[in-house]
Each structure stands twice: as C-alpha cells, then as structure tokens.
A and B are shown apart, each in its own frame.
Chain A
Amino acid sequence: MSVDDKTDQRPVGRGELTARELLRWVWRQVTSMRTALVLLLLLALAAIPGSVIPQTGVDALEVTRWKEEHPDLTPIYEKLDLFSVYDSIWFSAIYLLLVLSLVGCIVPRLFVYARALRAQPPRTPRHLTRLADHVSYETDLAPEEVLDRARAVLGKRHRLRAVDPADGPADSVSAERGYLREAGNLLFHLSVLVVLAGFGIGGLYGYQGGVILVQGSTFGNSLTQYDDFDPGGLFTPEQLDDFDFTVDSFEVDWLRSGSGAGTARGFEAGISYREGDRPQEEYDLRVNHPLSIDSTDVFLIGHGYAPVITVRDGEGNVAWTGPTVFLPQDSSFVSFGVIKAPTAEPEQIGLEGLFYPTFDLYEGDPVSVFPEALKPLVSMLVYTGDLGLDDGTSQSVYVLDKDKATQLEGEDGKPFRLDLSVGETVELPDGLGSVTFERVDPWIRVQISQTPGKEVALLGVVLALIGLCGSLFIRPRRIWVRARTVTRDGAAGGGGGTMTVVDVAGLDRSGNGELDEVLADLVAALKKE
C-alpha cells in the first residue's frame, strides 16, 4: 500500500502530508530496492574521477605537477574536492546514503526472516497441476504409502509441514528448503557494514609514516624521527609502539643479463630491532615480507644511494663528512643530492649535483649504464657564501638555497665541476678547501604504519563472501506431493479397481533454478521399489 492512498482516505485536507507521513514516505523511498540500485550505480560513477585525476592520498607529487600544468582548472577542482575524491563530502554522502538504505532495508528483513524461520512450510495448494513446474504419475501404491515415502525422501533435506488435523485429511506433503539463502543474503549485507567500520577505524586511528635510513643508522620510533607522517583524525602519539631498529645491511639482487637486465629481482635489508625492553632480534626485511612489531608494520618500499663525502674547508678542518642521501631520478638510479657545509671557514660551502652508479659517457653525455653501484661517480657544482642556513627558518635537506651564494668558477670562467670517483679528492679553487668521495652506502626507505581495523575489515569481507555464496548458490524451494485415489478407467465405481495418482509440484523461490531435474529425481525416488 502506498502512502498516497492513505492520505487520500483522510477526511482532512486532501493532498496534505503531515510531517510524519512525509518522513515515512521518504524513509520508504530511501530503503527501496530501486534506490539501493541507483545509489550503487551512483557510487560507481562517483568513483571514476579519482582514477583519472591524481589524488593527494595516492601520489602527492603528481598532484602538484598536475596543478602546475592546469592553473585554470585547479581552483575549480579544489572546490569540488577532486584531488581527494574518496574523502570528499559528495562521495561520502553517496555511501552514507547507501549505508542508511542498507540498514533500513536489512533491519526489517531480519525480523521477517526470524518469523519465517519459525513458520511452517505453507499448506499444499489445491491445484498442484496449475503450477509451472509439476509432474503427475500413477502407481499402485496406496496414497499413505506414497506420502510416507515422500516424507522420508524429502525429510532428509527439507523442513516438512506438520500434519495438522485442521488441514483436513492428510492427502499431501508440503516441504521447504533453502532457508539459509536469506540468512546468507542478510549476512552479506551486514558484513558490508563491518567492512566499512574496519575501513573507517583505519582511517581515523591509523597512521602512515616514512623515513629514509642509510645503512648503519638507527631509527627510534618517535614522531621526530619520521621524514613524513600522515596520521588519521583521531590518532594520538601515545599510540606509537616502543621500539627501535638498526639497518645493518642492504643487498639488491640485480639482473645482469637477459631482457630484464637492470631490474632488481630482490631487495633485502638485514635489520636488528628491539621492542621495549626485550632482547634484540634480527629480521630480513624484504618486499612482501614486512616486519610486524606489536601493532606496527614496517615495510621496505624503496632504496637508493648515499655517497659518503668529506668536505674540508680552507683551514684544513673537516667541515662535513658522512653519507648524504641522494634521490633517484628514474630507474637508472642517477640520483640528485645536495651537501651543505655551513661551518666551513672562511666561507660556507654547498655542493649540488648527480650521482651515477655506473658512470659512462654516451655520445658525450654522462649516463649511468647500470643501476648497481659498479663504477660510481659524483658530479657536482660548488657554491660558496651564505647558504641561507643562519636565519633560523627550516630548510629541506634536498634543496640548496642559492639565492645569496655564488657559484664557483674554474680558471676557464666556466662553472667549476667536481667529478669524483670513489677514493678521489679534488682541491677547490681559491684555496677554499677540498672534497673527497670516500665510498657509497645504500639507503632504504621504510614505511611504518599502524592500520587498526584491518582485521575487522578482513573479517568483514570474508563473512561477506560466505554470505554471498550462501545467497547465490542456495536454492530455496518448496515441494509438494499429493496422492489421491482414483478409480481405474476413470469411470466411477467401475470394476477396474483403484489406483493412486501422485501430483508433484515445486516452486523455486529464487526464480533462478531448474526444477525439472529436481522433480524428476524426486519422482524416481518415490517410484523406486
């Protein structure tokens, strides 16, 4: 019955909906199957922009690049949240509506189902032969015998309607099976909520952090140690687990021949870690092989080279020494880096340039012919003067502030360039000092994260899958068998004696099954001697 009918019957002003009725009408619309369907399609549609437009959560760098290339579109896109579609208000609105619709749909169905579970299979319809799927046959067995057999055969996998004197003489068996289909369906839909809950918990309470660690260095798990840190809205620093670890070694298994030459087959970082007060333990950190400490996971997600360079100033003192992280520019691992020696006297010294793992000249251009550090070389330009480090503002370690610095020039008036292989030292012009390339250390980038709720989400999908299979593969159906006595030859009271006519009929409640075979099997079982 639709709401409009009701309103029409009301004696007061026709066409007027009271607030309550309006609410009920809205609720009914929201929880209708059609709305669910439309919302599902809307959700699919709404997910598309996020796959074409770069997303902050996926690739922040790409977003910056995109914004630079499209200055006109950027403000519009920003207004529409198109750089973080999946956190946007409109995307959330769709799935929250879907959740609302889901709850509104499921809860009443739970009650209906609870009642259906207790209910008996329905009475046998009067005219079985009018059902779409039915079979009749004749037999010499007495009706009671046929029905007993039917009860025995069907009783194994069906629920039978109890014989009720109120139904009149028991001339039939009514059986039903497949109650679990609806249970599966309900389980599936409820599990969707569980998945969403797990997903939400992760988003709110979890965090992702990244840090680059040169071989030999130690990481202690506190906020200040992270290079970047992306917490959920409800994250608190107390959640950080108490542990530290040291990168003892890092190996890459490079492919040296074949069409895949130059790609890595494996990476392995040997680390030793300590959790709280426990003794130190060793672990091989690899891709697909994260380390779990308490509720924190540590993943190996990248690697590169850190040339160890020593800068001596004009007075012969070491102004800087140590590994410096260079960032790979592409898959050849040609890497860019910056070295700052602010304490150098008489003037600060800054270096900026590239690292080539396996240096070579290709048609006069410097290239790296292999990503492994087989013939490493650093090639850098030199700056002196004010590196902008003294005014207290923080500076990225990967950027050299050249605004107030001057670039060193060689005797020929061209920019002075250092080209250093391992072990080499070059004197800087004008007695500024010297630079030594000591060796190369590898670095690794690890991602450290807590994802609370991931087990909840996993449990949710597994339950959903179980429910789904139940819902899709269980075939609920009703089967009826009626046996009645008729006189042979059809002529009432004729001398031909009597026989039994058996009508078997079924109803597939999912509408997708094939009942012919089921009925044929049943008849065969009933006829069996």
Chain B
Amino acid sequence: MSDGAWETLSNQAVAAAGLVYFVALIVHLAEWAALRQPAANEVKQAVAVGGESETPAVSEAPAGRRTPEERVAFLNRLGFLTICIAAAAHLVALVGRGMAADPNRVPWGNMYEFTVSGTFVVTVGYLALYRRFRLDWMAPIVVGFVLTVLMVAVIWLHEPVQPLTEALNSYWLVIHVVSAVIATGAFTLGGFASIMYLVKMRAGEPEEGATGFLARVPGLEALDKLAYRVHAFAFPVWTFAVLITGPIWAHEAWSRYWNWDPKEVWAFITWVVYAGYLHARATAGWKGRNAAILALVGLATLWFNFIGINYFSTSSQHAYALQAPAVLLVVE
C-alpha cells in the first residue's frame, strides 16, 4: 500500500470510529432510557393487582418481546460490543497514520496524532477495566468524551502526515510519548470517576430500589476507591514520562534535561497537583470531596498543557507546538 493510501485509510478509519462511537452512545443512551421502564411497569402492575388477583410478581413481557431487564442487559452488551468495534477502527486509524509516514513511525508527531492516540487509550482503558470494576455505567461518559475530542481533533487539529523532525526522531520519544499518552488516558478515566463522585455527592445516595442512571453508579466509597486506583496507576506512569524519559530525551535533543519550558512547567504542575491529590486522600478534612476536586484540577492542567498552553506561550520548544524546523538560535 502506498503512503497516500495509508493516509486515506487512516482518515476513513477515524471517521468510521467516530460513527461507531456515535452508535455506541445512542445504544447506551437507549439503555439508560430503558432503565427507567421497570418503574412504569410496576405502576401498571399495581393497578392490575388492585383490579384482579393472580398477577405474576415478575413483570411478564408479551410473547416474543423482552422484559425490560433483558432489554437493558441486551443494550448493555450491544453497547460494549459497539465500543469494541469502534476501538478497532480507532486502532486502524492510528496504525494507518504511522504507516503513511515515510519512514514509518509512531503516530504522534503532532497534536492531531497525540489526540487520536490519547482518546484511544481512554477507550482501551475503559475496556480493560470494564469487567474488573463493572464500569458499564461509565460508558456514556467515556464514549461522549472520546467522540467529542475526536471531533475536535478532526475539525481543528487535523494535519497531513509529515515525517518527524529529527529532534523527535528518537526512541526516547517513543517511550516518553507512549507513557505520557497512557497516563493521560488513565488520568482522564480516573477523572470521570471523580466527577461522578462529586455528582453523586450532590445528588445524595439514591433510595433503595431506585432506577435510572445514578442508581447504577457505584456508591461514594466505591467511586472514591476506583478513582484512587486509576490515579494510582496513572501517577507513576506520568512520573516516568515527564520526570524520567522526558528529561533524558530533552538532554539528548536540546542539551538541557530540564529547561522550564512551558510544556515542562505544566507537566510539572500536573504532577504536583496529582501528588497533592494523593496526599489529600490521606489527610483528614481533605478526603473525599476535596480530593476529588483536586483530581479534576489535575485533569484540567493536564489537558490545558496539551491543548491550551500553545496558545498562551510562544517559546515552547516542544515540537507539536512548533511547526518550524528544529532550528533553535539564540545569538547575542
């Protein structure tokens, strides 16, 4: 396949992934809607009981139709499957991007590619943790997020495939960016749990037997633990990315392992805020709500660093902020 064909394939795969994510979102929203139905059924039953006797206790669906519980379970499984398919298309888009470059390379030379990779990690992280933590409640959030960010990437960040400038052509870059992308995806997932923690805290624990979305979200304590687990995974990976491989690469490429370049500053800020989060979870008075807020502050700094900082500062040496070739010149 020619490079051009790979690039076209990649673009089409992104579009396809977006479409399938959209379908997954619809399916999960339908599941959501279906969740409310048993309540309606119960009302009917109550009326029936009042009028006649012998109505079965379990809602019996008309022949050939599913019971609401079955519907929910079916939509749930369908949604999961759809996300898997979307993830596969997403993967094809990434591989195509790497194959389209000459020479072939890792697909993260610019912000578009980084965004597509980061969202992919969010999806994969969700799929990987799905069983262990029974994450199905998170599906609409994950899919909604991935879909939105992918759209932003395609509309505003898309750039044709280019070879890496030499400063980026290093295996340290590969390790650095892989770990940064993984940490970004994981922090994002952890952030979702923290958001739900705050939402649920405001809404209060739903009553016994309540249906609907919030009722399926795990309890506050479980959410807090889930958020912690995911953050506790992401934090060392982030440490590895920005405090070990990043400086090693910077040392080789720019001769300074730490230069307080705006990207570095914000990576550091993110790191410090998440360290604060881990502390907060162990500090009386900061547990729970404040810790969750800190996690979200961390998430905000993380994404700001990736997208926002480029618009505030011009002196970043980081290549996806810098489209000019890597000629750096400071002469008195």
Q: Which B residues are CB-close (under 8 A) to A59?
A: 315, 330
B170 at the interface (CB under 8 A from A): yes
Q: Does B74 contact A (CB under 8 A)?
A: no
Note all chain A residues with C-beta closer than 8 A to B244.
458, 461-462, 465
- CB within 8 Å of A: which B272-304 residues: 272-273, 275-276, 278-280, 282-283, 285-286, 294, 301
Q: How far is the CA of A289 from the CA of B102 in the complex (A)?
A: 21
Q: Pick the contact of A40: B247, B248, B279 (CB < 8 A).
A: B279
A387-424 CB contacts (< 8 Å) to partner B: 396, 398
* Pair B324/A461 contact, Cβ less than 8 Å: no
Q: A39-66 toward B: CB 8 Å interface, digit per residue (1/0)? A: 0110110011011101101111110000
Complex contacts, B279 vs chain A, CB 8 Å: 33, 36-37, 40
Q: How many residues of A contact B (CB 8 A)?
A: 74
Spot the interface stretch: B18-26, B31-39, B141-149, B253-261: B253-261
User: Would you give the 0/1 interface string for B306-330, flagging 1 where the beta carbon is closer than 8 Å to chain A?
Assistant: 0001001111000000001111111
A121 within 8 A of B: no
**Contact residues in B for A194 (Cβ distance below 8 Å):** none
Q: Is A233 an interface residue (CB 8 A)?
A: no
The reply to whether A44 and B166 form a contact with Cβ atoms under 8 Å apart is no
Stretch at the interface among B8-16, B122-130, B184-192, B231-239: B231-239
Stretch touching chain B among A19-27, A270-278, A295-303: A295-303
Q: Which residue of chain B lies nearest to A298 when distances are taken between CB atoms in the complex?
A: B255
CB atoms of A52 and B313 under 8 A apart: yes
CB pair B283–A41 under 8 Å, yes or no, is no
Closest to A53 in B: B313
Interface code A318-331, partner B: CB below 8 Å = 1, 0 otherwise? 00000000011011
Chain A, Cβ-Cβ closest to B170: A288
Q: Which of A235-243, A349-357, A467-475, A482-490 contacts B (4 or more CB under 8 A)?
A: A467-475
A124 beta carbon closer than 8 Å to chain B: no
Query: What residue in chain B is nearest A85 (Cβ atoms)?
Result: B260
B137 within 8 A of A: no
Residues of B near A54 (CB, < 8 A) are: 315
A465→B272 contact, CB < 8 A = no
Do B327 and A47 touch across chains, with their CB atoms under 8 A apart? no
Q: Shortest distance in angstroms between A313's beta carbon and chain B's nearest beta carbon?
A: 29
* A264 contact from B165, B266, B286, Cβ within 8 A: B165
Within 8 A of A (CB), among B160-177: 160-163, 165-167, 169-170, 172
Given A54-B315, A290-B255, A462-B244, 10 more contacts at CB 8 Å? A40-B273, A52-B313, A62-B315, A264-B325, A288-B169, A328-B329, A457-B257, A458-B248, A461-B243, A465-B244
Cβ-based interface call for B61 (8 A): no
Q: Which of A57, A288, A302 contacts B327 (CB 8 A)?
A: A302
Residues of A within 8 A of B285 (CB): 34
Specify which of B257, B269, B276, B314 is in contact with A451 (CB 8 Å cutoff). Answer: B257
Q: Is the interface of A mostly helix, strand, loop or mixed?
A: mixed
Q: Do A287 and B253 have beta carbons less than 8 Å apart?
A: yes
CB pair B276 A37 closer than 8 Å: yes
Contact A465 B239 (CB under 8 A): yes
Is the C-beta of A436 less than 8 angstroms from some C-beta in chain B?
no
Identify B266's interface contact among A37, A51, A396, CB under 8 A: A51
Our pick among A288, A396, A472 for the contact of B166 (Cβ within 8 Å) is: A288
CA distance A267 to B239 in the complex (A): 31
Contact present for B235 and A44 (CB under 8 Å):
no
What 0/1 readout, one digit per residue, does chain A (484-526) give for beta carbons within 8 Å of chain B? 0000000000000000000000000000101000000000000
Contact of A259 with B160 at beta-carbon distance under 8 Å, contacts A34-B285, A287-B326, A396-B332 already known = yes
A115 beta carbon closer than 8 Å to chain B: no
A44 and B253 within 8 A (CB): no
Name the 6 nearest CB pairs between A and B, nearest first: A299-B255, A260-B162, A51-B265, A51-B262, A331-B324, A44-B272
Residues of chain A from 236 to 273 with CB closer than 8 A to chain B in the complex: 255, 258-260, 262-267
Bound together, the chains give a CA A359 to CA B177 distance in angstroms of 39
Kindly state the separation between the CA atoms of A465 and B243 in the bound complex, as whole angstroms. Answer: 9
What's the least CB distance linking A314 to chain B, in Å? 33
Question: Whole-angstrom distance between the alpha carbons of A210 and B332 in the complex?
Answer: 11
**B236 and A299 within 8 A (CB):** no
Chain A residues with Cβ below 8 Å from B172 are 288
Residues of B within 8 A of A514 (CB): 225
| Least distance between B278 CB and chain A CB atoms (Å) | 8
**Chain A residues near B283 (CB-CB < 8 A):** 33-34, 37
Which residues of the other chain, B, contact A263 by a CB distance below 8 angstroms? 162-163, 165, 325
Chain A residues with Cβ below 8 Å from B258 are: 199
Does any Cβ of B come within 8 Å of A286's Cβ? yes
Chain A residue contacts of B248, Cβ below 8 A: 458
Q: What are the residues of chain A within 8 A of B228 when measuring CB–CB?
A: 512
Q: Are B261 and A299 in contact (CB under 8 A)?
A: no
Given the complex, which residues of B lie within 8 Å of A328, measured CB to CB?
327, 329
Which A434-453 residues have a C-beta within 8 angstroms of B?
445, 447, 449, 451
Distance in Å: Cβ of B106 to nearest Cβ of chain A: 15
Least distance between A105 CB and chain B CB atoms (Å)? 11
Q: How far is the CB of A236 from chain B (nearest CB, A)?
A: 21
A330 & B236 in contact (Cβ 8 Å cutoff): no
6 residue pairs bridging A and B, Cβ less than 8 Å apart: A44-B269, A227-B332, A260-B163, A265-B166, A302-B327, A458-B244
> Is B251 an interface residue when CB atoms closer than 8 A count as contact?
yes
Known: A33-B279, A36-B279, A457-B257. A303 touches B327 (CB 8 A): yes
Q: For A462, what are the chain B residues with a Cβ–Cβ distance below 8 Å? A: 244
Q: Chain A nearest CB: distance from B131 CB in Å?
A: 14
Q: Flag whether B252 is at the interface (Cβ < 8 A).
A: yes
- Which residue of chain A has the shortest Cβ distance to B259 in the bound complex? A58
The docked-state distance in angstroms from the alpha carbon of A228 to that of B232 is 44
A82 an interface residue at 8 Å Cβ cutoff?
A: no
Instruction: Tell me, yes or no, whether B80 is within 8 Å of chain A by CB.
Output: no
- The reply to whether the CB of A86 lies closer than 8 angstroms to some CB of chain B is yes
A454 sits at the interface (CB 8 A): yes
Contact with B along A291-312 (1 / 0, CB 8 A): 0000001010111100000000
CA distance A37 to B268 in the complex (A): 16
Is A187 at the interface (CB under 8 A from chain B)? no
CA distance A255 to B165 in the complex (A): 10
Rounded to whole Å, the gap between the CB of B272 and the closest CB of chain A is 4
Taking CB as reference atom, which chain B residue is nearest A253? B166
> In the complex, what distance in Å separates the CA atom of A449 from the CA atom of B169?
22
Task: Determine which of A48, A212, A287 lies in contact with B269 in the assembled complex, contact meaning CB atoms within 8 Å.
Answer: A48
**Bound complex: CA A398 to CA B332 (Å):** 9
- In the bound assembly, the distance between CA atoms of A391 and B162 in angstroms comes to 52
Chain A residue nearest to B253 (CB atoms) is: A288
Contact B239 A287 (CB under 8 A): no
- The distance in angstroms between the C-alpha atoms of A199 and B264, with both chains bound, is 15
- In angstroms, Cα B3 to Cα A174, docked, is 65
Determine whether B331 belongs to the interface, using a CB cutoff of 8 Å to chain A: yes
